Structure 1
Amino acid sequence: MWYLNMNAVMALTGMVLVLVLTRRWPSNKRYLLLAFNLCFLLLFSEKLFFFYLAYTSLNYMAFLFLCQTRHFRKGWFITLIGANVAAVSTLRLFGMEVFTNPLFDAVMLLGLIYNVLKVIDALYFAYFFGKDARTPVLDYFNYILFIPTFTSGPILKFRDFMADTKQPYQLNAAQTEQAIKRIILGMFKKIVLVTWMTDVFNQVSQQPDLHTHQSLFLMVWFYVLIFFDFSGYSDIAVGFGRLMGYNIPENFKKPFSSPTLTQYWRNWHATLGDWFRDHIFIFFSRQVPTKWTAAGLSVLIMVLIGLWHGFSWLYLLWGMYHGVLLALENLLGKSTVNKKKVSRTYFYARCALTQLFVTAAVIVYSGHEETVLHIYRGLMNWPF
């Protein structure tokens, strides 16, 4: 959300200039970035600043504890993850007004569902690498509070971020040009395309009676809209992140040319799918899972991704829908298609089928139950 605020964009640009001017200082991006991250949050919202100061401090202490403790490591590991999930879930329930408290402010939810995934990834690293995982406090804070990816990802891996932190700040002309082009492309998507497409979507969806062709149009239109929205944000985050000296992973890898749902979820919001696969399948890494195990894990992962998006029955059904389809691909041995070993007709037919499955449920991302049901009801309303 920073990137729709010109003051925020100017602040990020200013930080890049400061890093460029101080590039001869070996630790410039570590110390200056921490100061920037904290000042940015403080100016944006004092409540957000103090909440994340406390949240990150507590988790850093938990991280160090897990690095050092030798007793009941697995129990502590599960407990610390459970405490984070419970805390974030409780805050989301406050945001949904299931609970109320005068101390709660919705601003505290900003970026939390992304940042808790980073916290858990760091706990995994501490659990599996012990004392070797120990990290200076300023690097841990920079990892959690990294402003370019703070609100909507891409989701950074702890190991990769720390590896980048150890590298001196370097930025050549080619890298600068490429990063700026990514930022401009992302801005165009977010400000021009998404704004226009949202207006069209609202105008059509707000009609009292939708017909089949209108509902189909809205489902396809919304699918393209959220692609430009999500990928536009990712483009800007990747651009600014790389200008600050960090290799931000790609979030969208040509998802429309995915011939199976298994491959689709490795290409659409890739860092999110990778995170859930890495942190669920890792407990089964000692042996190759059977087809039935892989199918069951697919359902579990997609249900968790659905609930991660929102605590509602629509997201639960969305997760079950995609999970069952992925499970069937596993059980039938249809989870991958090698483009070089099949005909062009077969490959693109599978791509079209995958997009059909995705489009059928993509409207759930709108987050508005009334809109979703209104569009689905319109599918049954034939104009003749």
Structure 2
Amino acid sequence: MLFSSIIFLYYFLPLVLGLYFIVPKKYKNFILLISSLFFYFYGEPIYSILMITSIGLGYLHGLWIDRMKNSKYAKLPMISSVIVSIGSLVFFKYSNFLINNLNNFFSLNIPIMDIALPIGISFYTFQILSYNIDLYRKDTKVQKNILYFATYVSLFPQLIAGPIVRYSNVEAELSQRKHSIEKIAYGISRFIIGLSKKVLLANNLGELEKIFSLSNEKTVLFYWISTIAFTLQIYFDFSGYSDMAIGLGRIFGFHFQENFNYPFISKSITEFWRRWHISLGTWFRDYVYIPMGGNRVSKLKWIRNILIVWFLTGIWHGAEWNFVFWGLYFALLLVLEKLCFNKILARLPAVINHIYVMFLVILSFAIFNGQGIGEVKEILMGLFGGLEIPLYNQVTIYYLKSYGIVFIIAIIASTPLATYIIKKLNTYSLGKKIINLLQPIVISVLLLLVTGYLVDGSFNPFLYFRF
């Protein structure tokens, strides 16, 4: 069930909200759990058993880790948890990738397994892992109430696409959370803004990218237009989903961490990754990079740590070699920045730094978007005139004009300009009154526009279901 669907917006969500706010406080987590399980079951009826099993095993490992915490064998249940969680993720997400590579490298004929990728497995597996690792480190307390633990893992606002929520961040709110009109109003506004980013911007950009993929009139300029469209699409698709998750969480009394912080205004690749998919970056930092020594080791070991983290970041996104190369591409850029470019970047004008970052980021999403190495090679050759195609033609100009307004709005919306203007106006009494008057009108108009698009049956994919 997509957040950007009529059935979610006008059937599932109103019913859940009605039940949630009607029942007494002690039953609210139960309503959230049942709703979340139904939400997942609606889209993944078979793999709901897998998620429930993962929750049960994560809960039991937590009790085991807590019981053994002062024992000389304290590490044993933590290792068991890692093996079980990662083993499940590898089996369901990477089995066919491994089989294909074994067949290709060793000329074998191992049959491909009939396994579909369970939606959200990468997210809920990492949440269970972070809980058990934090328990082992004594950074959090064991949760003995399985209802609370199951609610934490399966909470539908962030179940299928994050952000990756740490147990320690919501531990207190699982048992004691406050609701208010202000929080609900903020949550609704944040949700609708995220929904609008996804439906009005990401979906329209996705349409253009789809048109390009089906076109027989490709040009160098069209390759750049398509790649930029995909870069913006994946940003609005995923950041929009994160906004919706954060907004829904706030309605139910949870405070999820921010997952995007205007990454396209970055002046270095290092800064870009502090602003893009923040919950994933901090997860790998805290549970992989720092335990290996982080940057407090020799230069060679630091480079090793960077390569391992970014190999894992790449493969986390999907079981294809292009994702591995995408991760290693960023590893190389981060190493070069640290060792060579930082002093140069510090002396350059900010606008040059922005151009440098966006050029490399757009190239990265050309790698990310390819369906296999062959297609990645074709895209990169197309971008730099390596194919026997014209620089541009009338078809390219037509689509550039047709989607020009969408591009302009998307580029402006990817910056903090609107936020800055609102904050500035809020410093004045009259400005504050205007914002208070206009905000509910703008939010209502956005919801009507989104509803119109969805009723019309417009193009409505969700990219992160692929990962």
Is contact 2:143–2:149 with CA below 8 Å preserved after alignment? no
- Letter of the structure 2 residue corresponding to residue 58 of structure 1: L
SS of the equivalent of 1:77 reads helix
**TM-superposed deviation, 1:363:** 2.2
Is structure 2 residue 114 aligned with structure 1 residue 111? no
Equivalent residue in structure 2 for 1:356, among 338, 359, 371: 359
Give the corresponding residue for 2:317: 309
SS of the equivalent of 1:283 reads coil
Give the corresponding residue for 1:153: 162
1:14 and 1:171, CA in 2 relative to 1: closer, same or farther beyond 3 A? farther
Give the corresponding residue for 1:230: 238
Give the corresponding residue for 1:282: 290
SS of the equivalent of 1:278 reads helix
Equivalent residue in structure 1 for 2:252, among 244, 247, 264: 244
Give the corresponding residue for 2:326: 318
Equivalent residue in structure 2 for 1:213, among 221, 244, 248: 221
Give the corresponding residue for 2:448: none
**TM-superposed deviation, 1:83:** 2.6
Give the corresponding residue for 2:180: 171
CA-atom RMSD in angstroms: 2.8
Q: Show the 5 A alignment for 1:114-193.
A: 114-129=123-138, 132-172=141-181, 174-193=182-201
- Letter of the structure 1 residue corresponding to residue 18 of structure 2: L
Task: Give identity over the alignment, percent.
Answer: 23
Is contact 1:262–1:335 with CA below 8 Å preserved after alignment? no
Give the corresponding residue for 1:265: 273
Can you list the C-alpha shifts for 1:99-133, whole angstroms capped at 9, x where unaligned?
6567x5x3x61100111111110111121118943
**Counterpart-to-counterpart distance in 2, 1:150 and 1:301:** 24
**Counterpart-to-counterpart distance in 2, 1:222 and 1:38:** 32
Can you list the C-alpha shifts for 1:139-189, whole angstroms capped at 9, x where unaligned?
1101111101111111101101212213234122x3222221222122222
TM superposition score normalised by structure 2: 0.73
Give the corresponding residue for 1:60: 59
Is contact 1:204–1:218 with CA below 8 Å preserved after alignment? yes
**TM-superposed deviation, 1:248:** 1.5
**Counterpart-to-counterpart distance in 2, 1:180 and 1:335:** 44
**Counterpart-to-counterpart distance in 2, 1:250 and 1:335:** 30
Is structure 2 residue 83 aligned with structure 1 residue 74? no
Can you list the C-alpha shifts for 1:321-370, whole angstroms capped at 9, x where unaligned?
11111122223472998xxxx78x62232222112111112123335236
- Letter of the structure 1 residue corresponding to residue 130 of structure 2: D
1:180 and 1:287, CA in 2 relative to 1: closer, same or farther beyond 3 A? closer
Equivalent residue in structure 1 for 2:382, among 351, 360, 378: 378
Is contact 2:140–2:168 with CA below 8 Å preserved after alignment? no
- Letter of the structure 2 residue corresponding to residue 325 of structure 1: L
- Letter of the structure 1 residue corresponding to residue 82 of structure 2: I
**TM-superposed deviation, 1:224:** 0.8
Larger CA deviation: 230-239 vs 44-53? 44-53
**TM-superposed deviation, 1:301:** 1.1
Give the number of the structure whose alpha-carbon radius of gyration is greater: 2
Can you list the C-alpha shifts for 1:26-71, whole angstroms capped at 9, x where unaligned?
4343232223223333454432332222221122111211121124
**Counterpart-to-counterpart distance in 2, 1:333 and 1:367:** 28
SS of the equivalent of 2:242 reads helix
Is contact 1:262–1:326 with CA below 8 Å preserved after alignment? yes
Is contact 2:208–2:226 with CA below 8 Å preserved after alignment? no
**Counterpart-to-counterpart distance in 2, 1:178 and 1:48:** 33
SS of the equivalent of 2:243 reads helix
- Letter of the structure 2 residue corresponding to residue 35 of structure 1: I
**Counterpart-to-counterpart distance in 1, 2:213 and 2:38:** 41
**TM-superposed deviation, 1:93:** 3.7
**Counterpart-to-counterpart distance in 1, 2:48 and 2:277:** 28
Is contact 2:152–2:174 with CA below 8 Å preserved after alignment? no
1:95 and 1:348, CA in 2 relative to 1: closer, same or farther beyond 3 A? same
Is structure 2 residue 264 aligned with structure 1 residue 256? yes
Aligned residues, how many?
373
SS of the equivalent of 1:138 reads helix
1:169 and 1:324, CA in 2 relative to 1: closer, same or farther beyond 3 A? same
Larger CA deviation: 233-242 vs 293-302? 293-302
